[in-house]
């Protein structure tokens, strides 16, 4: 057992990887688990305890919080935390959260997100202030970590309005305010996974994945003749991830983009981009990267590399998943009496 800290997370997204990594580093583990998933998570011996809830929102209730505090839990935030709670609810949690909980608001709000990417001098797609500005191909995206559900492509204002109205009828959005319009970036998608440690001021590039998003990634199987006859609006709902390695000549720029992001976050959102994050974008025909968004916490694409990735293998002589790297950081911080520096 490491110190008295228990590593805890919500039962979804990358919980298995996170708690397996915590156990490998010698921590006690605790899962906040919805009752409907109890049977699934009981299968894994590295999960020491479950706190059963009807909904993840119960984490905000005094009863759940005191159970977590009793165990000296540190919560590892992931996409489910962000999609199930709004930013002020997350910020109000008095259980320590690994990394910087204040930056999660910058992830959820697409306008703040854009500001941080601009501050990082990343090459980003143009955003559109109004549907009347649509020329060429644009993507309409929802705020928060909606996971691509209800996102759509449009080529004109009327095309946009027709699709928007369908989503309103389906109850997925309320109106224009729920959508952020961004130029579509052409190329090959890549999701760059990083870890930044404030303990030794070091950035590690951990891996890269691609996402399989339904329906958009299934369209290639349908010949154009049939595609034209289909009325369905394809969405970008992520279903899974597959691995990728980059041309080695791209790595230097991968590191500088990550470093610029860390520096910008330090300026705008104290205490900065501590822990795992991801820059998401596409490489164009000149292998130039356009970042269409970021995640300021662990991404599910790291689930590919439970035994380490082609990049973590260059940094560690042992299998190092992102989940394990997080636990290692907490362990190192505890050893040096600096736990407060890696949580908020």
Ligand X SMILES: Nc1ncnc2c1ncn2[C@@H]1O[C@H](COP(=O)(O)OP(=O)(O)O)[C@@H](O)[C@H]1O
Question: Which residues form the interface with Mg ion (CB under 5 A)?
Answer: 280
Residues 6 or more apart whose CB falls under 8 angstroms from that of 302 comprise 14, 17, 193, 206, 207, 209, 276, 321, 322, 323
> One symbol per residue from 184 to 223: x for binding ligand X (CB under 6 A), - otherwise; what is it?
xx---x---------------------x-x----------
How many positions of this chain bind ligand X (CB under 6 A)?
A: 19
Token pair of 343 as six digits:
């949580």
Nearest Cα to 12, choosing from 85, 64, 68, 77? 77
In angstroms, what is the minimal distance from the CB of 230 to ligand X? Answer: 20
| Rounded Cα–Cα distance for residues 262 and 264 (Å) | 6
**Partner touching 185 among ligand X, Mg ion, none, CB below 5 to 8 Å by kind:** ligand X
Q: Nearer to ligand X by C-beta: 108 or 274?
A: 108
Say if residues 241 and 259 touch (Cβ distance below 8 Å).
Answer: no
Q: How far is the CB of 148 from ligand X (least distance, A)?
A: 4
Nearest approach, Cβ of residue 246 and ligand X (Å) = 17
Q: How far is the CB of 63 from Mg ion (least distance, A)?
A: 33
Contacting ligand X within 92-131 (CB under 6 A): 125
Q: 145: helix, coil or strand?
A: coil
List the one residue from 28, 34, 209, 280 that touches ligand X (CB under 6 A). Answer: 280
Query: Which one, of 111, 10, 7, 4, lies nearest residue 51 by Cα?
Result: 10
Closest CA to 343 of 66, 114, 42, 93: 93
CA distance 145 to 291: 16
What is the dihedral sign for C-alpha 81, 242, 151, 180? positive
Distances 264 to 73, 113, 270, 290, 293 between C-alpha atoms, Å: 29, 12, 10, 17, 15
Out of 14, 95, 146, 326, the only residue in the binding site for ligand X (CB under 6 A) is: 146
Q: Which of 102, 292, 305, 311 binds ligand X (CB under 6 A)?
A: 292
Residue 169: other Cβ atoms inside 10 A: 8
CB of 294 to Mg ion, least distance (A): 8
Q: In what order do the strands lie in the sheet with 49-53?
A: 49-53, 28-34, 6-10, 73-75
Nearer to ligand X, 72 or 214 (CB): 214
CB of 293 to Mg ion, least distance (A): 5
Which of residues 196 and 236 has its CB atom nearest to ligand X in the complex? Answer: 236
Contact status: 145 vs ligand X (CB under 6 A) = yes
Shortest distance (Å) from residue 80 CB to ligand X:
13
Residue nearest to Mg ion as judged by C-beta position: 280
Question: Is 139 an interacting residue with respect to ligand X (CB under 6 A)?
Answer: yes
The CA distance from 209 to 215, in Å, is: 18
Q: Which does 250 bind (CB under 5 to 8 A by kind): Mg ion, ligand X, none?
A: none
Work out how close the CB of 136 gets to Mg ion at its nearest, in angstroms, rounded to a whole number: 21
Query: Which CB, 6 or 296, lies closer to Mg ion?
Result: 296
Retrieve residue 233's tokens.
């609006």
Residues that bind ligand X in the complex, under the rule CB under 6 A = 125, 139, 141, 145-148, 151, 182, 184-185, 189, 211, 213, 236, 280, 282, 292-293
């Amino acid at each position: 057992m490491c110190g008295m800290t228990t590593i805890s997370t919500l039962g979804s997204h990358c919980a298995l990887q996170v708690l397996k990594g915590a156990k490998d580093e010698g921590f006690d583990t605790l899962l906040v688990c919805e009752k409907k998933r109890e049977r699934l998570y009981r299968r894994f011996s590295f999960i020491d305890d479950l706190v059963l809830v009807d909904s993840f929102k119960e984490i905000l209730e005094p009863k759940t919080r005191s159970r977590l505090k009793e165990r000296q839990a540190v919560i590892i935030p992931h996409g489910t935390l962000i999609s199930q709670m709004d930013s002020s609810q997350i910020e109000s949690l008095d259980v320590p959260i690994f990394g910087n909980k204040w930056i999660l608001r910058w992830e959820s709000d697409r306008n703040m997100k854009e500001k941080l990417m601009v501050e990082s001098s990343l090459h980003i797609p143009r955003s559109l202030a109004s549907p009347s500005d649509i020329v060429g191909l644009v993507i309409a995206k929802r705020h928060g970590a909606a996971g691509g559900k209800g996102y759509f492509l449009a080529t004109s204002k009327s095309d946009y309005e027709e699709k928007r109205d369908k989503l309103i009828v389906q109850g997925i959005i309320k109106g224009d305010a729920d959508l952020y319009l961004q130029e579509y970036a052409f190329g090959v998608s890549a999701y760059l996974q990083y870890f930044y440690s404030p303990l030794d001021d070091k950035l590690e590039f951990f891996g890269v994945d691609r996402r399989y998003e339904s329906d958009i990634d299934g369209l290639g199987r349908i010949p154009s003749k049939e595609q034209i006859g289909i009325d369905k609006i394809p969405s970008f709902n992520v279903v899974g991830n597959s691995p990728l390695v980059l041309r080695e000549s791209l790595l230097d720029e991968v590191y500088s983009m990550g470093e610029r992001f860390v520096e910008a976050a330090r300026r705008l959102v104290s205490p900065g981009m501590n822990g795992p994050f991801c820059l998401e974008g596409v490489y164009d025909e000149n292998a130039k990267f356009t970042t269409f968004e970021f995640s300021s916490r662990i991404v599910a694409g790291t689930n590919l590399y439970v035994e380490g990735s082609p990049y973590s293998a260059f940094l560690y002589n042992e299998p190092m998943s992102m989940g394990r790297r997080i636990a290692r950081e907490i362990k190192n911080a505890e050893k040096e009496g600096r736990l407060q520096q890696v949580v908020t």
